[in-house]
Amino acid sequence: MPDTRVFVADANSTDNTTEIARSFPAKFPIEVLPGGLPAVGRNAGARRASTPYVLFLDADVELLDPTLLRRAVAAMRQQHLHCLTTNIVCIDGRAADRLLYGAGNFVQRTSRWVAPFATGMFMMFDRREFQTLGGFNEHALYAEDYLLTKQVARQRFAVIPGAVMTSNRRFRKMGRLRIAGMFFLTALNSGNPSYFLRDQGYWKES
């Protein structure tokens, strides 16, 4: 891990994000960068990276499986992948929250054979391919992660076994039906890039 560089893109948060990030031991190098909308922050971090692969995580994601990153890198190398993701599990929600995340995982796994996609909660990219695709569209105000991964060829995409943990904050703030509806409309508009240039009410509600 001493050779692993971590970039935290902070969009003027008010929850002590920068102080917490900088409180880690010096042997674990963390650099705080100016953020903005997710696409802006993620691209800023990727531009600083020099490794073969870049991993994007959301702020509330926990990596509880100590083997996940090693297995992800191995899969990228052995299968010559451009992008991979894993399952998302909600650890602090109700049964309905866990059910919705489970349904999302099922859709993600089955869709990889036709039109793969990943979310920003866990996305590992081949850095050169990420650059070739132009990175995240900084004009996108909604689902910039989905929009980018839809450009990845299905034979270069994978969902590896395991999971990362996230909170149910999205459901608490916006409601389960609203989130499920947005997920459905996102899929319907896969071929309509202009749909993602509007925030669809996400930022106002979240």
Q: What is the per-residue pLDDT across 4-54, written as a single tens digit (0 to 9) for each?
A: 788 898 888 888 888 888 887 776 788 888 888 889 999 999 999 999 999
Residue 146 is assigned to a structural domain of this protein? yes
Residue 160: the pLDDT is 96
Residue 206: the pLDDT is 54
Residue 155 is assigned to a structural domain of this protein? yes
CA 37, 170, 73, 63 torsion-angle sign: positive
Residue 125: the pLDDT is 97
What are the tens digits of pLDDT across the range 100-148?
999 999 999 998 888 899 988 999 999 999 999 999 999 998 899 999 9
The CATH number that applies at residue 67 is 3.90.550.10
Average pLDDT rounded to a whole number, residues 146-153: 93
Check: CB of residue 82 under 8 Å from CB of residue 152: yes
Residue 30 is assigned to a structural domain of this protein? no
Residue 12 is assigned to a structural domain of this protein? no
Q: Which domain holds residue 84?
A: 36-205
Instruction: Provide the number of structural domains found in the chain.
Output: 1
In degrees rounded to 5, what are phi and psi of residue 89?
-120, 135
Residue 133: the pLDDT is 96
Dig out the tokens for 105 from the structure: 């995982």
Q: Share the mean pLDDT of the chain.
A: 90
Residue 7 is assigned to a structural domain of this protein? no
Residue 29: the pLDDT is 81
| pTM of structure | 0.90
Residue 193 is assigned to a structural domain of this protein? yes
Residue 111 is assigned to a structural domain of this protein? yes
